[in-house]
Structure 1
């Protein structure tokens, strides 16, 4: 299992430094996040930065760690601009970019304050599929056109493919063992991994625990082609400050089938750039 770290708070310079410290202290990935203008009282007081700009800066000063965002909100992005941003960071990093993707949060004013944007969950889900399809075609190196619900384009061609031919895509998928929501799960199965969430009132409530991951990986084994290759299952959480307890948490996640643990600190009343830096310097537990 690999270990990633989210730069949830801090200036661009602070986040770049945090990413460098993550690489220096044994983490396998650094992730920022994707929001424009949030209307929630807690998160709305925080500045937001362009994730691709941040990741480009991080790519230039790191050599090993995987780069991404938790989560790229694709339905509000123009696919042709997204394709260029993805390709740029992918090449700048030497093929280290991954794309955890989702429908976006409804408190983002880039949805609620912009005319013509998909707004309902179903609309954003359809837009997500459309943007992903456009992005996938852009990696072919061939000319293509698109006539969709949210975007219609004439001929586009991106003659240089991503470093590794394509960029791994990890869609968010909602998990409910009693009644698995097939649309989000089936979407994730078509790609390279998934970021599972359970229903909750906050980002931390929505995190899948080891029991959810165990159920989910069993479901994946049943419904995914066994010859399709490796598949990533991402678990988010907060490791205990005690090294022994942190190791037990990580072992439980790995034993349940998670392939990534993403260290996620979101509470704006307790999390600061300084606390994130201190936590990153502790490094991930040794399994």
Structure 2
């Protein structure tokens, strides 16, 4: 099975059009010819964003990510959040052209399948079709442990309640995405709707359903005990790690 693009048509609501245009203009003005292309993913390009609740997710592609000064990028973000309170948070990922073309099952997947191009030439069109297979799923999770460790550390050291809840939401979403990747051969599609993602995990993963429901409730946000969440998160990650290891073993047995 070949993975299809998550967002096939950009449908930015009127509340966000000026914000997206201004973000792109600011990035191009600040970094000039260093930018190859800019992408979005999530609810804003899908046309399903909720004003004053939804985040903005951008990806910048350039020759060398070191050309993009994070401090200058952060100033652009802070200014735009003041000017456009309709957006709650702005996340920006930076990657290189080489990342995308040399790692089609990782960065190539991200740009080709998850994102849509809002400026420049869409480099995702140069990524070969992505075929769902154990090899793809293993490659897709190359950086999962590093990401999980980073979020775990940040949450463990956060003392501010607002930041704790933000980390818990992000941690829950990342774990649900990791679990969902395990069932791609069953679903045949990458799903970014969290309800559908959760239901597919419940249908196909042999994990305790209560753990999945707990993670989803944490993703939605409520009064959550950090220690309890970390305990459950560790249990879920152990399941994921064991399942991925079994997939690696099976893949190696075929080679």
Higher share in strand: 1
Query: If the length of structure 1 is used for normalisation, what is the TM-score?
Result: 0.28
